[in-house]
A and B are shown apart, each in its own frame.
Chain A
Amino acid sequence: MPEGLTGSLAQLPLIDLLKMLAAAGQTGRLELSSGLDLGDLYIHRGQLVHAEAAGEWGEPAFARLVTWPNGQFRFIPGEEPPERSIAKPLDQLLAEAARVASEREAIRRVVPSMDIVPRLARKAPRPQLTIDAADWELIALLDGSRTAASLAAELGLDDFEAMRRIYRLKLAGLVEFEKPQQLAPAARALAGPAFFQALHTAVAAAVGPLAEIIIDDCLDAMGHTRQDFPRDGIARLAEAISNEITDPEKRVKFQQTMLALIRGQQAA
């Protein structure tokens, strides 16, 4: 594989990198990765001609890639694009990307997260108002308890579009924000005595009379007792106990029993 330019987007932002490759009249593939997300940009004689990311092609893929705040890049010179999905000049694409980025920033300053709860303003900002249809759909759902995230889900919008509409309504003085509500933590279901009985049988089959001690030690290490042990912690407890079983065959048997037990609990 030919070696090319590699580096981090945190140190060399994508926009600067593209300007550099364009100025040098380069041809090749710019491979981008951020976590498990991957993307490719193809440059031909300094012009961006094709973009692919997350199943998207062309300008939408490019718009997605320029929002990555960090990640890695590798430029493989000489690789020709498999197709051409971008016709706009790079300067124009970068100008649009900069405009979108600045819009995002402005929106984020007013609508900082999807946890905010918008509600209708108590006083109308002006004697007469014009509301467009898209904003009305959102207004109709405001009840003082729905978060921006739940509004987005209900309207089938992506987060950014929902934030953009809420931002518009806030700037127009039509909505105010409630403080995020602190929801009372839901009571966690307990594993219960029947579970501990089954657990004891499974551990005893693997380690014999030490079962009680191992179970209590593991519970103690997790900061729980049999009385307050939550059902959603069973897998962690099973894992901790299985680490104490030295015989590999008995350990696997125990793990199988525990998985069956957990599946039974989930089905109940």
Chain B
Amino acid sequence: MSYLTRLAKHMVAQLLERDELEAVMGDLTEMRATPWRSSIEILGLIVRRQAAHWSHGFPWVAAFGLALPGTLLLQGTSYSISCRYQGLTGAGICNGWSPAGSGQLAQLPCLAVLLVLTSWSLGFLTSFISRRTLWASAILVAAPCLYCQAKFHEAAVSRLCLLLFLPLMAAGACQGLRGTRIRPATAIALTAVSTVLTLICNRM
């Protein structure tokens, strides 16, 4: 089996329920459908399923309410952390930044923890509330990242510094896909810590 066929099967398996895929593949085998006809039939089913998913609010909230604005915000935070780190280590100063002071030293761990918490939570929530349309949220994460990578011009830091949040967001999304449940106490603790850290970072 070629890599592309395996990839196509994996993608189809992500978009359809396991039982449904089993029944449809069985039907197509029984009908002796050609590979081309089978592909068209499965694609038709996927399109109809996706249309049904998008008729609800969750995919829109996940894609346009969480993934897109979250990515823009977290890219900014990633950049901010990188510039502070560079300033503190003396490796360089980003455009528009002043040389490192004591305030920045305290802000760096605060921002780093905030980035970890927010990235993971955003990835988790996006995939948890809309598992079947995660591909759309992924596109809305990838698009601004690629745009900023193309437009980024900063001598002091690498353009990859904008993507610091991405592995954490992906880890959160994986947890959400697995259907992991967060206890209310944990969720409240996460929210409280994030809020306190945001307030502390803003006051410094």
A binds B: no
Task: Give me the interface of A with B, judged by CB distance under 8 Å.
Answer: none
Task: Give me the interface of B with A, judged by CB distance under 8 Å.
Answer: none
